[in-house]
Structure 1
């Protein structure tokens, strides 16, 4: 009588994977519960980093009372082209680790987690707004080639799950110095001035566009992208990032 081979089920495969390759936390590398991207401590770190109040215009960390205003002390004296801002939390703890990993990794579990965070931030802030498309802040082609992907594009693609199409309406015309090394907001704005342009055949007229990026440091890059889009005829421009700094620059 022939010997019947064992039925290899998905459950068996998952069990074998759990034994042979125990789950590791994406943030700290310590053991995590099967099927969980983070360990208990890093989940708490993520909750803490995402548990604050944000200025609705620029995303800055503000008090609960200040979050009810249309703008905060950081953005009130600046020429802003951004009409509204959504973000997941502060550049701290677990969220900081995830953002740094995203710049250099296409780990499927990591991408799934940050896309969930981005979609949640969008729903919390812009669920009632008309958004025609999400546009990732582009990398210069040299940086895109070296990295292999654009982390802003990873976030933008993730919003397809809630019905927001992704469009690459912008191009980066010149390489700029990394923004974190710039000393002031005015220097950051000067650094990115003229760095972006609307693509030749893109039509953004009368559109309501959401810019996506992983980090908002000072906001100069997002503001320049918004300026270019509005000069090309965009009606409104919003922004979404994973993080902002805990203190302002």
Structure 2
């Protein structure tokens, strides 16, 4: 399976590179220079990898609950101190803050449908996983109902398949989303209140009973971005109800 996936990905990548040579060069979303195939030039990609490595080596500068970078706080950020949204998660590691040109990068991947970014993002997630959570299986956060029908793809599924096919990471696709209610449609009070969060989101996910027969010791949720952490939290709660003792999360960005 891994060899077949790598072969198919190589064919798609080669076709993409060939097409990129025929089209006008893209502009790097970070520095504005020309860039072939990806909207991030080689130099800026290397800078992203270098900054990620520094972040992985300095986890003490992150909030122990939500994983956001601490400014003047110690251990727990101010927002997490004022909210009890995150309780079941044992740790979250966002790769980058959702600021400046990184907003454009996520937009190109999610909204503009640029699948060539999936292997690149997978390589970044892999760097964090192999250092922070080696050997622990990944559980992708599922898409909202109808997303694949409307958009033709699920970016988190693409990311998971890249991590599984390219790096051999164990991936369990066990969660299913039943409701389409989104965090951005909740009021701030609903987002920050654990009681309201449970009411709004608990019916939104389903964990198959077959998974409860032999759950792993730990799991790592994978999603594109963390805002309040409510979605990741309810997923972690379901996984722990299934018998998983420790649940972590890796996201590409944090708001």
Same fold, judged at TM 0.5 (above):
yes
Say whether 1:237 aligns with 2:244.
Answer: no
Choose 1 or 2 for highest CA Rg: 1
Say whether 1:84 aligns with 2:91.
Answer: yes
Over the aligned positions, Cα root-mean-square deviation in angstroms equals 3.5
Q: Secondary structure at the match of 1:211?
A: strand
Structure 1: segments with no counterpart, 5+ residues: 1-12
Q: Secondary structure at the match of 2:160?
A: helix
Instruction: Say if 1:24 and 1:240 are closer, same or farther in 2 by CA, change over 3 A.
Output: same
CA offsets per residue over residues 168-208 of structure 1, 9 Å max, x none? Answer: 111112221x2123223224453212211112432353431
1-structure distance, mates of 2:151, 2:47: 28
Structure 2: segments with no counterpart, 5+ residues: 1-14, 56-60
How far off is 1:123 after superposition?
Answer: 3.3
Deviates more, 1:219-228 or 1:107-116: 107-116
Q: Structure 1-normalised TM-score?
A: 0.74
Structure with the largest fraction of helix: 2
How far off is 1:92 after superposition?
Answer: 0.9
Q: Structure 2-normalised TM-score?
A: 0.73
Contact 2:27/2:33, CA 8 A, preserved across alignment? yes
2-structure distance, mates of 1:212, 1:16: 31
Deviates more, 1:203-212 or 1:51-60: 51-60
Say whether 1:150 aligns with 2:154.
Answer: yes
How far off is 1:55 after superposition?
Answer: 1.9
Instruction: Say if 1:87 and 1:232 are closer, same or farther in 2 by CA, change over 3 A.
Output: same
Say whether 1:172 aligns with 2:177.
Answer: yes
Instruction: Say if 1:15 and 1:152 are closer, same or farther in 2 by CA, change over 3 A.
Output: closer
Instruction: Say if 1:141 and 1:57 are closer, same or farther in 2 by CA, change over 3 A.
Output: same
Q: Secondary structure at the match of 1:111?
A: helix
What residue is the counterpart of 1:139 in the other structure? 143
Say whether 1:225 aligns with 2:235.
Answer: yes
Report how many aligned residue pairs link the two structures: 226
2-structure distance, mates of 1:180, 1:49: 29
1-structure distance, mates of 2:18, 2:248: 45
